[in-house]
Amino acid sequence: MSIVTVQLGQCGNQIGHEVFNAICSDICGTHGLCSKTENESYYDACKERFFSEEESEVPVARAVLVDMEPKVISQTLSIAARSGYWKYGDRSHFCQKQGSGNNWANGYSVHGPRHKEVILNLVQKEAEKCDRLGGFFTIMSMAGGTGSGLGAFVTQCLRDAFPTSFILNHVIWPYGTGEVIVQNYNSVLTLSHLYQSSDALLVHENDVIHKICAQLMNIKQISFRDVNQVIAHQLGSVFQPTYTAESGSHYSRNPLGDLMEMLVPHPEFKMLGLRNIPQMPENSLAYSTFSWPGLIKHLRQMLIANAKMEEGIDWQVRPPRLGSSIPSSHSTNKPLHFNTSIANLVILRGKDTHSVDLGSFQDPSLYASWLSPQDAFKAWKTPRAFNKYEKSATLVSNSQFLLKPLDNVVGKAWNMFASKAYIHQYTKFGIEEEDFLDSFTALEQVISSYTSL
């Protein structure tokens, strides 16, 4: 099954480009550490998933590029083509000239309806090229105007046009201290709208990735390109082919569907976080060895202690003892800082994955009381190494990972809303105070649901 990627706005297009780069470099590389047949299966599965065969020397990404100003798309197209390994379709993009001015209302209420037909046509064309459509993967930031506002509108349109397809939104959480002053408004509006049409929101926080670049990748002068490359690596580690328990001896063919079905059992809980270990500079890879027990131990502790990366993990945090918690909606017996999960997916890639013991992730105390660990935990594996990492473990988690960031953003947005600052910029384009209130209400509901796990 194939995935159609929709890249929205500057951020979406810059990241999307790095994702296809990472995927392509992974399959074209010779560091698979597995048999030739394995490599070929992997390659074929990946190609089907992300690239289409067209009359072109290089694979063409299954992607639609959308932006309201031309510079980023123009750059993205030319850099991709220059790589010589892959490219975007010649007519797979749509852009305008004036941008969205960081204004969610402009993106959603003006650009959205105005360009709906053209954009949906592009998506339709891409979808038709797929033998079997596995779903849509949209990439956007919440902070600006296009990715956020137009992105929310496009997601809604996708839902209407493809009611039975899976839609996964990859959402970039902006740096806490501004890239954009109205970023909290834009974020609140985006999240509340996406919650209605999307199947799941997979989140990357700029602050977190920045720290990974600084502390783990040892990058001194961190650029957005560095940040995007780490994000691309993490996404690649999720979406490259794997074997699931059900797929048997073939690479699984329905990654988005499989992911959604097990990670989002309830529509109130759609916020997914991502952790990937190990992460290190490429030139250190050759000198590092890891053991699976070590990696799994770290990953599990990152989950329960809500650590953003493999350094600085709080090892004091422990799951509550089973039987001691009163079955109620208030987790009064859960220890402080303990991150309760709805569902977890662990993806293992590389050497000796078949023998890894993942029992610690099936501990019922990790999960909300209304779930059984059999349903709440799954593992996907492949012996094929990813992106030159001999061993790589990824956790996609539906848990309280994003509770605090969400609460922060809503709090700041509410604070600003109370003073009515900047509201006139939104009402100018048809988003009224009531719309804001609806969005705040929706998100307070999400916060409340995750808090009471």
Task: Find the part of the chain contacting other proteins (CB under 8 A) among 148-156, 212-220, 247-255, 261-269.
Answer: 212-220
* Torsion sign over Cα 80, 81, 86, 87: positive
Instruction: Please say whether the beta carbons of 2 and 49 come within 8 A.
Output: yes
Residue 1: its H or E element = none
Mark the segment that binds other proteins (CB under 8 A) among 28-36, 208-216, 337-345, 362-370: 208-216
Stretch near other proteins under the rule CB under 8 A, chosen from 58-66, 215-223, 255-263, 307-315: 215-223
**In this chain, which stretch among 27-35, 206-214, 307-315, 395-403 interacts with other proteins, using CB under 8 A?**
206-214
Q: Of 101 and 373, which CB lies nearer to other proteins in the complex structure? A: 101
Decide: is 70 part of the binding site for other proteins (CB under 8 A): yes
Query: Least distance from C-beta 66 to other proteins, angstroms?
Result: 15
Residue 214 binds to other proteins (criterion: CB under 8 A): yes
From the CB of 269, what's the least distance to other proteins, in Å?
15
Report d(CA 187, CA 439) in Å as an integer.
10
Binding of other proteins by 338 (CB under 8 A): no
Please say which residue, 174 or 278, places its beta carbon nearer to other proteins: 174
Q: Could you say which residues in the range 222-241 bind other proteins, by CB under 8 A?
A: 222-225, 227
Nearest-approach distance from CB 206 to other proteins, in angstroms: 9
Is the distance from CB of 426 to CB of 104 less than 8 angstroms?
A: yes
Q: Does 445 bind other proteins (CB under 8 A)?
A: yes
Closer to other proteins by CB, 136 or 185: give it: 185
Letter for the amino acid at 287?
Y
* Rg, Å, the chain Cα set: 21
Q: Residue 79, SS3?
A: helix
Q: Which is nearer to other proteins, 102 or 344 (CB)?
A: 102
Residues forming a β-bridge with 347: 380, 394
Stretch that binds other proteins, among 57-65, 210-218, 282-290, 383-391 (CB under 8 A): 210-218
Written in H, E and C, the secondary structure of 338-404 is CCCEEEEEEEEEECCHHHCCCHHHHCHHHECCCCCHHHHEEEEEECCCECCECEEEEEEEEEHHHHH
CA-wise closest residue to 137 among 162, 113, 114: 162
Task: For the CB of residue 424, give the shortest distance to other proteins in the complex, in Å.
Answer: 6
Shortest distance, CB of residue 103 to other proteins, whole angstroms? 5
- Pairing relation of β-strands 60-61 and 63-67? unpaired
d(CA 105, CA 101): 10
CB-nearer residue toward other proteins: 199 or 205: 205
CA–CA gap between residue 204 and residue 269 (Å, rounded): 17
Contacts 24+ apart (CB under 8 A), 109-114: 109/149, 109/429, 109/430, 109/431, 110/429, 110/430, 111/68, 111/146, 111/149, 111/150, 111/153, 112/149, 112/150, 112/153, 112/154, 112/157, 113/153
**Interface residues for other proteins in 260-279 (CB under 8 A)?**
none
Site for other proteins in 405-424 (CB under 8 A): 410-412, 414-416, 418-419, 421-422, 424
Considering only residues 138-157, where is the footprint of other proteins by CB under 8 A? 145
The whole-angstrom distance between residue 263's C-alpha and the CA centroid of its chain comes to 13
Size of the site for other proteins (CB under 8 A): 55
Chain residues binding other proteins by CB under 8 A are 10, 14, 69-72, 74-75, 96-103, 145, 175-182, 210, 213-214, 219-225, 227, 329, 410-412, 414-416, 418-419, 421-422, 424-425, 440-441, 444-445, 448, 452
